[in-house]
Amino acid sequence: MAKYCRNCGAELKENQAVCLKCGAMVEDVNKSVSVEDDGNIGWGFLGFFVPIAGLVLYLIWKDKAPKNARMAGKGALISVIIEAVSVVFVLIIYFGLFAFTGALASGMGSSMTLLTALM
Protein backbone atom coordinates (compact mmCIF):
# COMPACT_ATOMS: atom_id res chain seq x y z
CA MET A 1 0.00 0.00 0.00
CA ALA A 2 1.28 3.43 -0.92
CA LYS A 3 2.19 6.00 1.70
CA TYR A 4 1.96 9.76 1.33
CA CYS A 5 3.92 12.57 2.93
CA ARG A 6 1.96 14.20 5.72
CA ASN A 7 3.57 17.54 4.94
CA CYS A 8 3.22 17.89 1.16
CA GLY A 9 1.25 14.82 0.08
CA ALA A 10 3.91 13.41 -2.23
CA GLU A 11 3.91 9.66 -2.71
CA LEU A 12 6.52 7.84 -0.67
CA LYS A 13 8.29 4.57 -1.27
CA GLU A 14 8.24 1.74 1.26
CA ASN A 15 10.77 2.26 4.10
CA GLN A 16 11.45 5.84 3.00
CA ALA A 17 12.41 7.82 6.09
CA VAL A 18 12.45 11.32 4.59
CA CYS A 19 10.20 12.89 1.93
CA LEU A 20 12.28 13.57 -1.18
CA LYS A 21 10.08 16.47 -2.22
CA CYS A 22 9.94 18.57 0.96
CA GLY A 23 12.43 16.88 3.28
CA ALA A 24 9.90 16.19 6.02
CA MET A 25 10.46 13.21 8.31
CA VAL A 26 8.08 10.38 7.54
CA GLU A 27 6.23 9.43 10.68
CA ASP A 28 5.93 5.70 10.88
CA VAL A 29 6.48 4.98 14.54
CA ASN A 30 4.79 1.60 14.51
CA LYS A 31 7.21 0.21 11.96
CA SER A 32 10.35 1.32 13.79
CA VAL A 33 9.22 -0.35 17.01
CA SER A 34 10.31 -3.96 16.62
CA VAL A 35 8.18 -5.26 19.48
CA GLU A 36 4.47 -4.66 19.88
CA ASP A 37 3.51 -3.14 23.23
CA ASP A 38 0.68 -5.52 23.98
CA GLY A 39 1.76 -6.48 27.51
CA ASN A 40 2.33 -10.05 26.33
CA ILE A 41 2.43 -12.55 29.20
CA GLY A 42 5.56 -14.02 27.55
CA TRP A 43 7.57 -11.02 28.79
CA GLY A 44 6.32 -11.82 32.28
CA PHE A 45 7.61 -15.38 31.94
CA LEU A 46 10.92 -14.09 30.60
CA GLY A 47 11.25 -11.75 33.57
CA PHE A 48 10.28 -14.60 35.87
CA PHE A 49 12.89 -17.05 34.57
CA VAL A 50 15.57 -14.46 33.86
CA PRO A 51 14.99 -11.63 36.39
CA ILE A 52 18.01 -9.67 35.15
CA ALA A 53 16.60 -9.65 31.61
CA GLY A 54 13.22 -8.64 32.99
CA LEU A 55 14.79 -5.73 34.85
CA VAL A 56 16.77 -4.63 31.77
CA LEU A 57 13.67 -4.85 29.55
CA TYR A 58 11.71 -2.88 32.14
CA LEU A 59 14.29 -0.08 32.10
CA ILE A 60 14.51 -0.08 28.27
CA TRP A 61 10.73 -0.19 27.69
CA LYS A 62 9.63 2.02 30.60
CA ASP A 63 8.78 4.84 28.16
CA LYS A 64 8.51 3.15 24.74
CA ALA A 65 6.48 0.09 25.66
CA PRO A 66 5.06 0.60 29.17
CA LYS A 67 2.75 -2.44 29.03
CA ASN A 68 5.57 -4.80 28.12
CA ALA A 69 7.83 -3.08 30.65
CA ARG A 70 5.30 -3.61 33.42
CA MET A 71 4.83 -7.25 32.42
CA ALA A 72 8.59 -7.97 32.34
CA GLY A 73 9.12 -6.06 35.59
CA LYS A 74 6.27 -7.91 37.29
CA GLY A 75 7.72 -11.28 36.25
CA ALA A 76 11.14 -10.31 37.59
CA LEU A 77 9.61 -9.06 40.84
CA ILE A 78 7.57 -12.25 41.38
CA SER A 79 10.68 -14.32 40.67
CA VAL A 80 12.71 -12.36 43.24
CA ILE A 81 9.92 -12.67 45.84
CA ILE A 82 9.61 -16.44 45.28
CA GLU A 83 13.39 -16.77 45.52
CA ALA A 84 13.43 -14.85 48.81
CA VAL A 85 10.57 -16.98 50.17
CA SER A 86 12.29 -20.22 49.16
CA VAL A 87 15.49 -19.09 50.90
CA VAL A 88 13.44 -18.50 54.06
CA PHE A 89 11.88 -21.96 53.65
CA VAL A 90 15.29 -23.58 53.24
CA LEU A 91 16.46 -21.82 56.42
CA ILE A 92 13.36 -22.97 58.29
CA ILE A 93 13.86 -26.57 57.11
CA TYR A 94 17.57 -26.38 57.93
CA PHE A 95 16.96 -25.12 61.46
CA GLY A 96 14.02 -27.50 61.81
CA LEU A 97 16.31 -30.44 61.03
CA PHE A 98 18.90 -28.99 63.37
CA ALA A 99 16.28 -28.87 66.10
CA PHE A 100 15.16 -32.42 65.25
CA THR A 101 18.68 -33.90 65.41
CA GLY A 102 19.22 -31.92 68.58
CA ALA A 103 16.13 -33.64 69.99
CA LEU A 104 17.53 -37.07 69.10
CA ALA A 105 20.76 -36.25 70.84
CA SER A 106 19.51 -34.74 74.05
CA GLY A 107 15.83 -35.59 74.28
CA MET A 108 12.57 -33.78 73.53
CA GLY A 109 13.12 -31.06 76.07
CA SER A 110 15.98 -29.34 74.27
CA SER A 111 14.19 -29.59 70.90
CA MET A 112 11.18 -27.81 72.37
CA THR A 113 13.52 -25.14 73.71
CA LEU A 114 15.10 -24.76 70.28
CA LEU A 115 11.71 -24.59 68.56
CA THR A 116 10.43 -21.96 70.95
CA ALA A 117 13.66 -20.04 70.44
CA LEU A 118 13.14 -20.19 66.65
CA MET A 119 9.50 -19.16 66.80
Beta bridge partners of 25: 18
Q: Is 25 in the site for Zn ion (CB under 5 A)?
A: no
Site residues (CB under 5 A) for Zn ion, limited to 87-116: none
Q: Is 81 in the site for Zn ion (CB under 5 A)?
A: no
Q: Is 22 in the site for Zn ion (CB under 5 A)?
A: yes
Q: Is 5 in the site for Zn ion (CB under 5 A)?
A: yes
**8 A C-beta contact, residue 41 and residue 23:** no
Burial of 48-67, coded b for 16+ CB within 10 Å and e otherwise, reads: bebbeebbebbeebeeebee
Q: Is 10 in the site for Zn ion (CB under 5 A)?
A: yes
Q: How far is the CB of 67 from Zn ion (least distance, A)?
A: 33
Comparing C-alpha atoms, which of 83, 82, 77 is closest to residue 47?
Answer: 77
Query: Which member of 24, 50, 77, 80 binds Zn ion (CB under 5 A)?
Result: 24
**Side chain identity at residue 93, one-letter code:** I
Tell me the number of residues near Zn ion by CB under 5 A: 8
Query: Which member of 3, 7, 37, 77 binds Zn ion (CB under 5 A)?
Result: 7
